[in-house]
Structure 1
Amino acid sequence: MKPRVYIARSLPEEVLTYLEDHCEIRKWEGEDSITSEHLAQEVGDAEGLLVTGTPVTEAILNAGVNIRVISNLSVGYNNLDVTALKARGIVGTHTPYVLDETVADLAFALLLSTARRVAELDQFVKAGKWQKGQDSELFGVDVHHARLGIIGMGRIGEAIARRAKLGFNMDVVYYNRNRKPDVEQRLGLKYCPFEELLQTSDFVLLMTPLTPQTRHLMDEPQFSLMKKSAIFINVSRGETVNEGALVQALQNNQIYGAGLDVYEQEPVDVNHPLLKLSNVVTLPHLGSATPVTRLNMAKVAAQNLVYALKGGSPVHVIPELQS
């Protein structure tokens, strides 16, 4: 008998076909993303769940008494209560590696577009404001040979650092919970204490996972340490930043600008002050959003689910749940 699974998001046809070959599936048919409340109602007798972003709450776990595996279609897994999964003996998986280079591309796109005011000046030209003789008021800042400080040197951080070093001759420093001498040697990076990184970097790029320790890692004291000419980039998780403090730093010209792909509340309210600032580039949380990468992520998530349900060892078990 095939294991029963519930798919809480849309998937490419070839991935659905793979799952149907190995599992008895039910799936969410709503047009909007499934909520935790709906998932608790839908889970039924499923032994496996495939989710993206939807918080898997105690109510869902209590309703899904047969759940053995939860496959999260994301590298991040802060939507899962890892402690609750561990207590129940539920396998939790995620999809690292396949999105590293794609997210690094987006991070660098944000860095460049913020530095050179690409989004702002695109609207400037389209609004018919460009006139002969305009010059210094349209200036941006150089990226090449500037100092990039990366907070969080995981795989994506390494991919960003490689682009910075090889493509733009940047001076790259990093702060990480654990120092990485092998990465320093391989990429020519320098380790830098957190406060020193903030004080000396021309670009501060946040690339940490969301944990209790990293929530509001960037707050008023941290923004106050940054150069007035510095640019802040966040492609990690929105809750790693106190957005009120970021807005204040931008409005008071404590920092030059910001490029954001993630936010404390998503989608962002149209009246959020960040959306009113011309020195902020805002993207709709699409770090891994290319067809090839999303397809590969879906394949990995499906394989994780099937392997675990059939008693195998999925490659991408969430670190805290690895035995």
Structure 2
Amino acid sequence: MEELPYALLSHCGGITGFPKPYQGIVQQHFRVVYYAEFLKNKHDFADKIQLVLVWWHKPHVDKGLLQSLPNLKVVSSGGVGVDHLDLQLISSFGVKVTNTPHVGNDPTADMGMALMLAAAKLIVQGSEIVSAMETQQFDHNVLVDDITEATLGIVGMGSIGYSVALRAHSFRMKIVYHNRRRRKEEEEKTVDATYCENIEDLLRQSDFVMLAVILTPETHKLIGENELRQMKPTATLINISRGKVVDQDALVEALQNGTIKAAALDVTYPEPLPRGHPLLTMKNVIVTPHVGNATDKTRRKVVERLVSNSVAVIRGLSVPDEITIEKLSC
């Protein structure tokens, strides 16, 4: 029987390790070596490892690791974003990089809608009022925001952004979007979306602005002081992309000064935020712990895609999820 190729993973279990329930999916195709074991016995594993499987950005793929794995063929990373990987460095070693796009579209879009609804309807604040010991009666003059027929601006109309638009269309929201490339006319018609060539046009008219872009040098701090000033004072910012897409200092100031009304964030920088950070204490902010695609069904699919991508690279087959610098810039 042919020996399975070797795969390097960071560690198993805990809050950042590879999940134990999914180990069997990998072990059907690979002999798994965890990083601590690799460090102790480099001479036994260095020449055998053909895959580095990156889970929650671990292990860190740097020059030293690449130099220590002469037969490495692929770095396969769970999730869509690859901002934690130096693609140019990895490519210089003749190693391919893959990710797992589209798998998490639906749960991440669900999360975006949940954050928008929670912010608009004051779900978190309302729950705190109901459970507070000092609450004797409710203020029935407190008003919440409409979602139905409100304007949603989607920044980044890729697969996740379009999944958000499909959901928002059911709420009869007016959808405007900004993207590197305009989507096909029939796709726009399906969700009644209007393209904004300039992000400023989107920001000025949106009641809710949802960020669904990948993190690149071009999208780093895409939303800063100037962009926040373009938004309505009644608008809410929702981020389901990456924390670094927003200038958080500028966001804090905008929320404190009433430049915008509220924010709902599934991602921040860093994660978690330092204890006592203003975003954690402001009443007009919701922060969740990066759980956009954290469902068992989705994570299982992610691992299956990681494995299938890696097997394809090792066998010299076509790899639809291969990531290159050129592909990211398209």
Please tell me whether the aligned partners of residues 176 and 193 of structure 2 are also in contact (alpha carbons under 8 angstroms).
Answer: yes
For 2:53, give the aligned amino acid: L
- Using the size of structure 2 for normalisation, the TM-score is 0.88
Q: Which moved more, 1:15-24 or 1:277-286?
A: 15-24
Task: For 2:23, give the aligned amino acid.
Answer: L
> Structure 2 counterpart of 1:257, which letter?
A
Name the counterpart of 2:8: 6
Partner residue in 1 for 2:229: 224
Output aligned runs, 1:34-183, within 5 Å. 44-45=46-47, 46-52=49-55, 53-54=57-58, 55-132=60-137, 134-136=139-141, 138-166=142-170, 168-182=171-185, 183=187
Give the secondary structure class of the aligned counterpart of 2:126: helix
Q: Is the 8 A contact 1:92 1:321 kept in 2?
A: no
**Aligned residue in 2 for 1:235:** 240
Partners of 1:41 and 1:252 lie apart in 2 by 59
Q: CA RMSD in A?
A: 2.4
SS at 2:82 equivalent? coil
**Paired positions, count:** 313
Residue by residue over 1:258-303, the C-alpha shift from the partner in whole angstroms, topping out at 9 and shown as x without a partner, is 0001112112111211001011010001110011111111111122
Could you tell me which runs of 5 or more consecutive residues in structure 1 were left unpaired when the two chains were aligned.
Answer: 31-36
Distance 1:15 1:133, change over 3 A: closer
Deviation at 1:124, TM superposition (A): 1.5
Correspondence for 1:33: none
- Distance across 2 between alignment mates of 1:179 and 1:134: 45
Which stretch has the larger CA shift, 92-101 or 312-321? 312-321
Deviation at 1:230, TM superposition (A): 0.2
Q: Deviation digits for residues 175-217 of structure 1, max 9, x if unmatched? A: 0011113321232110112101111100011111000000000
Q: Is the 8 A contact 1:71 1:301 kept in 2?
A: yes
Higher alpha-carbon deviation: 50-59 or 202-211: 50-59
In structure 2, the gaps of 5 or more residues are 13-17
Q: Is the 8 A contact 2:175 2:191 kept in 1?
A: no
Residue 157 of structure 1 aligns with an amino acid whose one-letter code is: G
CA separation of 1:99/1:86 partners in 2, compared to 1, >3 Å: closer, same or farther? same
Counterparts of 1:316 and 1:214, CA distance in 2: 21
Letter in 2 for 1:249: A
Deviates more, 1:58-67 or 1:226-235: 58-67
For residues 314 and 22 of structure 2, what CA distance do their matches in structure 1 show? 16
Q: Identity, % of aligned pairs? A: 34
Measure, in 2, the Cα distance between the counterparts of 1:42 and 1:191.
56
CA distance in structure 1 between the partners assigned to 2:260 and 2:134 by the alignment: 26
| TM-score of the pair, normalised by structure 1 | 0.90
Query: Residue type matched to 1:73 in 2?
Result: G
8 Å contact kept, 1:150–1:172: yes
CA distance in 1, matches of 2:97, 2:253: 38
Shift of 1:19: 2.9
Structure 2 residue identity aligned to 1:24: R
What is the Cα deviation at residue 220 of structure 1? Answer: 0.5
Provide the rounded CA distance (Å) in 1 between the counterparts of 2:9 and 2:278.
36
**What is the CA-CA distance between 1:139 and the residue it aligns to?**
2.0
Whether 2:281 is the aligned partner of 1:281: answer no
SS at match of 1:312: coil
2:23 to 16, 21, 24: 16
